[in-house]
Amino acid sequence: MNKNSKIYVAGHRGLVGSALVKKLLQKGYKNIIVKTHSELDLTQQQKVKEFFAKEKIEYVFLAAAKVGGILANNTYRADFIYENLQIQNNIIHQSYLNGVKKLLFLGSSCIYPKNAPQPINEESLLTSPLEYTNEPYAIAKIAGIKMCENYNLQYGTNFISVMPTNLYGPNDNFDLKTSHVLPALLRKIHEAKISGKKTVEIWGSGKPKREFLYSEDMADACVFIMENVNFQDLIKDKNEVKNTHINIGTGEDLTIKELADIIKKVVGFDGEFVFDTTKPDGTMQKLCDVAKLSNLGWRYKTSLKDGIKKVYKVFNEKR
Ligand code: GFB
């Protein structure tokens, strides 16, 4: 990838896509193409076909997806599987047909089995049943990994899949019904402080453990992989090529209760937490084994506390 290469960032308004555009510009990449949803509906095969035929794209970051927290995944189950399959099928297939040099497909650590051994190694993929609350999303993402892998095997493409842990950042979704836990708790705790409320409700038992990576570190890892890694580097056994995807995370996790305590300190709230156990916990732990990524030469930079402080600053500025 050189500074004039034509790079398409699909999903540039999202949490990772926006961080990716920022990172690419910072690094001097000049020829970045983006399209809003109203300019290009990625679920529409014909539109995506026309777009790729016209634009002669060289590199693709596939960060467009329908995403959300545990409640959104569990409620809009059909939308999560349909929209994600459509988007990734259209972009991956057109990237192959139009000779894209390299594509990075963004998945999620929820592709792994509910009871995978911790920390979760890439080899755990498809070894036992998934977590039910996000099964439709996970199935779509697994299809994307397998699509990239098998296009590489059959057609010699260079499509790489990365599986980030739970992400957070300045451009997050703060809608309490559809967001992930970190932005939800930040908002709830902030609003409780402002209105003088004494308690904040946390969904589930507070005991599940999660790993959190700052969106700008995620973007940095993606650009690092695009610049330095090829599919061929990821093959372990030429006779049975599988699990060529790469986990992206910090390798450290904490309970939801511990996360809430950190946010409480950052926000400066002195009330209590109440646990609503009628809401699902989801998977109890999904800590990524990041050895593969470390061996490739990448490590995260932003500590969880610093990342939360940055997000809270932007959150306050937008109010
Ligand atoms: O971040 P989250 O929605 O998604 O929830 P997952 C993580 C944990 O935080 C769950 C608890 O145990 C929630 O019950 N939690 C506590 C809350 N309070 C809240 C709250 O106010 N809002 C939210 N949203 N959660 C998603 C998957 O799983 O993670 C996706 O559904 C994807 O497919 C994504 O993989 C990264 O970590 O459980």
How do residues 83-121 score in pLDDT, each as one tens digit? 999 999 999 999 999 999 999 999 999 999 999 999 999
**16-37 burial string, b = 16+ CB within 10 Å, else e?**
bbbbbbbbbeeeebeebebbee
The pLDDT tens digits of the residues spanning 246-288 come to 999 999 999 999 999 999 999 999 999 999 999 999 999 999 9
**Cα torsion angle, 56, 107, 308, 216, sign:** negative
The pTM for the full model equals: 0.97
Residue 104 β-bridge partners: 61, 160
- For residue 14 and ligand 1, the question of a CB distance below 6 A is answered with no
pLDDT, mean of residues 62-80: 97
pLDDT at 318 over 90: no
pLDDT band at 319 (very low <50, low <70, confident <90, very high): confident
Domains in the chain with CATH codes: 7-172+212-250+288-302 (3.40.50.720)
Q: Can the peptide bond before residue 119 be classed as cis, meaning omega within 30 degrees of 0?
A: yes
232 C-alpha to center of ligand 1: Å?
35
User: Which residue, by CA, sits nearest to atom 23 of ligand 1?
Assistant: 181
Q: Between 181 and 318, where is the model more confident?
A: 181
> SS in 3 state form for 243-301?
CCCEEECCCCCEEHHHHHHHHHHHHCCCCEEEEECCCCCCCCECCECCHHHHHHCCCCC
Residue 187 has which token pair?
């908002």
User: Does the annotation mark 168 as catalytic?
Assistant: no
Quote the DSSP letter at residue 130: P
Ligand 1 in reach of 95 Cβ (< 6 A): no
Report the alpha-carbon distance of residue 68 to residue 308 in Å, rounded. Answer: 19
Burial class of residue 90, CB neighbours in 10 A (0-12, 13-18, 19+):
buried
60/63 Cα distance (integer angstroms): 9
